[in-house]
């Protein structure tokens, strides 16, 4: 049976870079955030999401993700309602993807909110990518062209690294990428023996 390896980390930790590296090694990697974005374009999902917001969050029959992000990151209740629509759809999408990759010894499921969504319970092993908060904030500000306050708002909605570490099998401090990638190689070697 194909093993599921969870890959997670707080915003700006560099988990996407680690995921790309793992994928470059020929290992199937499911990027939950990318799939969620595609799912959010589904007309049925657009309709459900539109109903939970008082403000109009639809432009040209597509969800305005930037506007939705601004609204949900300052309202835990709205975020919860949005997740109740998106998470089951992503879970279904992942299960189909997993069936297509069942010949692999293991696959990697990269998800920013692996713990918060509860999907960590489906994983055989979990890799946590961390980095000091100041570095993470800087990375996200540069990448998303957002303010420090906006990054901190997003961080408030994620578990802390300490909470995640308690449930993780491997922890990569992603301060120096070259060192991090060597750690990934060692982890992959170990996972191949499962």
> Was 14 annotated as part of a binding site?
yes
**Mean pLDDT computed over 20-28:** 97
Number of neighbouring beta carbons within 10 Å of residue 19:
24
**Mean pLDDT computed over 47-68:** 90
> Was 8 annotated as part of a binding site?
no
Is pLDDT of 51 > 80? yes
> Was 6 annotated as part of a binding site?
no
Higher local confidence (pLDDT), 74 or 132:
132
Domains within the chain, CATH numbers bracketed: 3-192 (3.40.50.300)
pLDDT reported for residue 135: 95
> Was 15 annotated as part of a binding site?
yes
Q: Is 85 helix (H, G, I), strand (E, B) or coil?
A: helix
Average pLDDT, the chain: 93
Is pLDDT of 175 > 80? yes
> Was 130 annotated as part of a binding site?
no
Distance CA(49)–CA(82), nearest Å, equals: 7
């Amino acid at each position: 049976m194909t093993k599921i390896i969870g890959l997670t980390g707080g915003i700006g930790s560099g988990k996407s870079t680690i995921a790309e590296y793992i994928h470059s090694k020929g290992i199937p990697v499911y990027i939950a955030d990318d799939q969620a974005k595609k799912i959010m374009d589904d007309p049925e999902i657009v309709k459900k999401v539109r109903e939970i917001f008082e403000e109009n969050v639809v432009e040209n029959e597509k969800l305005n993700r930037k506007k939705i992000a601004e609204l949900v990151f300052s309202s835990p209740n709205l975020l919860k309602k949005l997740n109740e629509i998106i998470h089951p759809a992503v879970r279904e999408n992942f299960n189909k993807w997993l069936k297509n990759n069942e010949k692999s010894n293991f696959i990697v499921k990269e998800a920013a909110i692996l713990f918060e969504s509860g999907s960590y319970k489906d994983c055989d092993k979990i890799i946590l990518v961390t980095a000091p908060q100041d570095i993470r904030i800087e990375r996200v500000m540069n990448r998303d062209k957002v303010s420090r306050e906006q990054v901190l708002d997003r961080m408030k909605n994620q578990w802390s690294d300490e909470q995640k570490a308690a449930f993780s099998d491997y922890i990569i401090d992603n301060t120096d990428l070259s060192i991090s990638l060597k750690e990934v190689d060692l982890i992959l070697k170990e996972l191949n023996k499962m």
